[in-house]
Amino acid sequence: MTCDILISNCSVLTPDYNIAENMSIAIRDSRIAAIDKAELLSETYTAKETIDGRGKLAMPGLVDGHTHVCQHLLRGRISDEFPMIWTRFLVPFESSLEPDDVYWSTQLACLQMIRSGTTAFADAGGTHMNRAADAVLESGLRAAIARSVMDQGRNIPDSMKDHTRDCIEKTADLYQGYHGKGDGRIQIYFGLRQLMSCSEELIRLTGDYARQLKTGVHIHLAEHKDEVVFCLENFHLRPVEYLHHLGLVGENLLAAHCVAISEAEIDLISRQQMNVVHCPRANFCCQGFPKTPRLLETGAVVGLGSDGAARDDISIFEEMKTIRVGLTAAWGLPIFDSTVLPNRAILRMALQGGASALGLKQDLGALEPQRKADIILLDIRQPHLYPSHNLTNTLAEAANAQDVTDSIVNGTIVMRNREVLTLDEERILAECAGRARKIFERAGI
């Protein structure tokens, strides 16, 4: 039999989070055709291209469940600032972006994601998301892209708000133009920035349209106390309850953060199989400690996100380490239990939790025949990884973005031996440096 790519003689992270040695993976037509012992597959398959997997671990590509590709050129500016980041920085920055700024910012974000082992992501959206989608298409990555929409709220200039119907129509246009493009790599989700800046009518319409078009909705939800107070005062319901009341809490909802949630909301999230995405580094700095162990105990689906590059890098490996340390300190230490969030659960969040957030839980998140070939290879013969008594633990606790050597998305190689094949790194860095300066001048920040 023939296959497009054969990854030979590698170790493999199995779907139950064990390590299988001396394996090979055959890829054909964007999917995994077979995974088996290396000597078996080398007899069965003739490959158009072979990747030597000796000394490497193959695992599913990481999924960033919540990011902001258009905030990449804000890097380094908002840390150690007094509060009011939204009004002082994000509003002037985002409203000063031109379409090509978004394109180059997204190219930079994709470059960094490929080099960090992320093969798919969900973007909460900003403006000019058609140009973001163009850049993602070129990068070879997989993404669920939303437009950020707002039709009400204080502290938001009119230029960032739209009439309710326009919010829907602009996203519907983006959907018509890009959903399914790139051999199905691009999905267009409906976006709702957050509850305080979206009217009840907009939320209801968004739910209706997303159901009609069979796509997802991406929102920032239950982020902080102000939002809870806003919902209690206006609707006598907490944020998740309010959104459920409007018919949006379900499998196609991707809700970032979900830190300020009650037991009743956890029950609702779990029953409705809503997708929660925690962003540990952003959460610990700005919102608090999410109740991840409790959510997982109830069977809720939880993924990991970077929340963009304005404050940190966007490596999901770093989010994995941070959530382990932070939540063990927050929930484990007070009860003398260091196992409140085991490494396997963290890996499952970064892989299967993310896959579910993108509506692709059958296709992504595990290396098995028939799933999409979104695969990364890590060099595991390195002093911080080798030898290990339990590579699954070491993977979650010690692996870094720099360990990723090769990346395959949808059966196509996008990075080989750390060289990104789809993007022009030098040009991206030069374009972005010039544009970052000009955006800051225009925004006055």
Residues binding Zn ion (CB under 5 A): 124, 307
The residue (of 8 and 275) whose beta carbon lies closer to Zn ion is 275
Question: Quick check: helix, strand or coil at residue 416?
Answer: strand
Min separation Cβ 124 and Zn ion, Å: 5
The residue (of 135 and 309) whose beta carbon lies closer to Zn ion is 309
Q: What is the largest CA-CA distance in the chain?
A: 68
- Cα gap 231→409, rounded to integer Å: 41
The sign of the torsion formed by the CA atoms of 323, 118, 175, 274 equals negative
Min separation Cβ 338 and Zn ion, Å: 30
The residue (of 307 and 379) whose beta carbon lies closer to Zn ion is 307
Burial (Cβ within 10 Å: 0-12, 13-18, ≥19) of residue 308: buried
Q: Which residue is nearest to Zn ion (CB)?
A: 307
Alpha-carbon Rg for the chain, nearest whole angstrom, is 21
Min separation Cβ 257 and Zn ion, Å: 7
Min separation Cβ 1 and Zn ion, Å: 45
| Residue 8 near residue 46 (C-beta atoms within 8 A) | no
The residue (of 25 and 91) whose beta carbon lies closer to Zn ion is 91
Min separation Cβ 354 and Zn ion, Å: 15
Verify cis geometry, omega within 30 degrees of 0, for the bond prior to 342. Answer: no
Min separation Cβ 390 and Zn ion, Å: 33
Tokens of 428: 């991206």
Min separation Cβ 86 and Zn ion, Å: 11
Between the CA atoms of 399, 290, 79 and 91, what dihedral angle is there, to the nearest 10 degrees? 120
Percent of the chain that is helix, strand, coil (3-state, to 5): 45, 25, 30
DSSP for 86-131 reads IIIIIHHHHHT--HHHHHHHHHHHHHHHHHTTEEEEEE---S-HHH
| Residue of 413, 397, 417, 390 lying closest to 347 (CA atoms) | 397
The residue (of 33 and 124) whose beta carbon lies closer to Zn ion is 124
Show Cβ contacts of residue 253 under 8 Å, excluding neighbours closer than 6 positions.
216, 217, 219, 243, 272, 274, 275
Min separation Cβ 190 and Zn ion, Å: 16
- Cα gap 87→68, rounded to integer Å: 17
DSSP 274: P
The residue (of 281 and 321) whose beta carbon lies closer to Zn ion is 281
The residue (of 179 and 218) whose beta carbon lies closer to Zn ion is 218
H or E element that contains 275: strand 275-278
Min separation Cβ 42 and Zn ion, Å: 45
Min separation Cβ 61 and Zn ion, Å: 21
The residue (of 101 and 223) whose beta carbon lies closer to Zn ion is 223
Return the amino acid letter for 124.
Answer: A
The residue (of 197 and 407) whose beta carbon lies closer to Zn ion is 197
The residue (of 6 and 129) whose beta carbon lies closer to Zn ion is 129
The residue (of 179 and 278) whose beta carbon lies closer to Zn ion is 278
Residue 223's φ and ψ, nearest 5 degrees, are -80, -45
Taking the mean position of all CA atoms in its chain, how far away is CA 76? 21
- CA distance to 79, 96, 130, 152, 435, per residue, from 443 (Å): 18, 6, 22, 22, 12
Min separation Cβ 7 and Zn ion, Å: 34
